[in-house]
């Protein structure tokens, strides 16, 4: 379904333009990190790509749109995971059931991903009583179980302590290694360095700079990116 094409993409709400005419193509294989100061429109851009928001201008197009049902081939993990009032295992199976996976297969897949994210021992525990880090791991497992081609992550470690953050980062790497395209936002420059292959730098709703991680951190081109890396922008 990749590449993902954004053409003159715009989004306005309440009379304010949040995304201003972004045009770009996002390809498979790399881990794309969207960086930018607060209020730059990072989360909104991901929601537009994922289909949770409808653009008010321009287009979001996936390859072979229509041939494959889009939602099922992509997944998203939010900053605050929404845990359903059922067991950890139940949460994963719920997502698989919605995706139309048969019960037997669902159970096997759920066991696999819970094992992979290190939650096999709490599979039967109610999801809402798990710790914050465990909940975010479960959210990743729930998304991973769907076998998405693209996984969006919106500040996945924003509320977590360093240990939990390390766990989440290694799971993201594992998901990428299994062949899933990663598109994520983060506040942490360290995380962008550790996890990213390329950076999309947003400022005030515009795509200001796009570069590989190495180049972006060594030689940023735009004034905004330079200021951001110096820590002058929030």
Partner 1 sequence: MNDLSQALAAATHLVVSADANLLVIVSRSLQVSFAAVLIAAAIGLPAGAILATTRIPGRQAVVALLNALMGLPPVVVGLLVYLLLSRAGPLGELGLLFTPTAMIIAQAVLITPIVAALSRQVIEDAWREYEEQLRSLGAGTMAAAITLLWDTRFALATVVLAGFGRAAAEVGAVMIVGGNIDGVTRVMTTAIALETSKGDLPLALALGIVLVAIILSVNLLAHWVKLIAQRHYG
Binder of partner 1 out of 11, 18, 34, 50 (CB under 8 A): 50
CB of 70 to partner 1, least distance (A): 9
User: Taking the CA of residue 58 as centre, how many other CA atoms within 13 Å lie in the half-sphere pointing to its CB?
Assistant: 21
What gap in Å lies between CA 42 and CA 50, rounded to an integer?
A: 12
Task: Count CB-CB contacts under 10 A for residue 67.
Answer: 9
What gap in Å lies between CA 97 and CA 79, rounded to an integer?
A: 23
Find the distance separating the first CA and the last CA of the chain, reported in whole Å: 35
Q: Using the rule CB under 8 A, is 95 a contact of partner 1?
A: yes
What gap in Å lies between CA 129 and CA 108, rounded to an integer?
A: 24
What gap in Å lies between CA 187 and CA 95, rounded to an integer?
A: 28
Q: Using the rule CB under 8 A, is 175 a contact of partner 1?
A: no
Whichever of 53 and 211 has its CB closer to partner 1, that residue is: 53
Q: Given the rule CB under 8 A, which of 2-10, 46-54, 172-180, 197-205 is the region that contacts partner 1? A: 46-54
Total residues in contact with partner 1, by rule CB under 8 A: 23
Whichever of 81 and 156 has its CB closer to partner 1, that residue is: 81
Binder of partner 1 out of 62, 78, 216, 228 (CB under 8 A): 78
Q: Given the rule CB under 8 A, which of 7-15, 55-63, 125-133, 170-178 is the region that contacts partner 1? A: 125-133
What gap in Å lies between CA 57 and CA 20, rounded to an integer?
A: 9
Q: Using the rule CB under 8 A, is 85 a contact of partner 1?
A: yes
Q: Using the rule CB under 8 A, is 99 a contact of partner 1?
A: yes
Q: Using the rule CB under 8 A, is 217 a contact of partner 1?
A: no
- List contacts with partner 1 (CB under 8 A): 47, 50, 52, 69, 71-72, 75-76, 78, 81-86, 94-95, 98-99, 126-129
């Amino acid at each position: 379904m990749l590449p993902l094409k954004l053409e003159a993409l715009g989004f306005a709400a309440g009379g304010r333009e949040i995304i201003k005419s972004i045009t770009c193509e996002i390809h498979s294989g790399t881990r794309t990190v969207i960086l930018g100061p607060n209020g730059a429109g990072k989360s909104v851009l991901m929601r537009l790509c994922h289909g949770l928001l409808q653009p008010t201008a321009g287009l979001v197009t996936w390859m072979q749109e229509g041939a494959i049902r889009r939602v099922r081939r992509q997944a998203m993990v939010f900053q605050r995971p929404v845990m359903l009032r059922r067991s950890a295992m139940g949460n994963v199976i719920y997502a698989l059931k919605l995706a139309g996976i048969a019960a037997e297969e669902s159970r096997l897949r759920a066991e696999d991903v819970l094992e992979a994210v290190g939650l096999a021992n709490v599979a039967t525990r109610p999801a809402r009583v798990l710790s914050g880090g465990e909940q975010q791991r479960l959210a990743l497992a729930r998304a991973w179980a769907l076998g998405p081609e693209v996984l969006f992550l919106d500040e996945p470690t924003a509320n977590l302590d360093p240990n939990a953050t390390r766990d989440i980062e290694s799971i993201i790497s594992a998901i990428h290694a299994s062949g899933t395209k990663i598109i994520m936002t983060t506040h942490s420059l360290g995380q962008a360095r550790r996890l990213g292959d390329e950076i999309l730098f947003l400022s005030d709703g515009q795509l200001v700079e796009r570069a590989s991680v190495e180049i972006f951190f060594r030689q940023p081109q735009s004034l905004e990116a330079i200021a951001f890396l110096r820590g002058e922008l929030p």
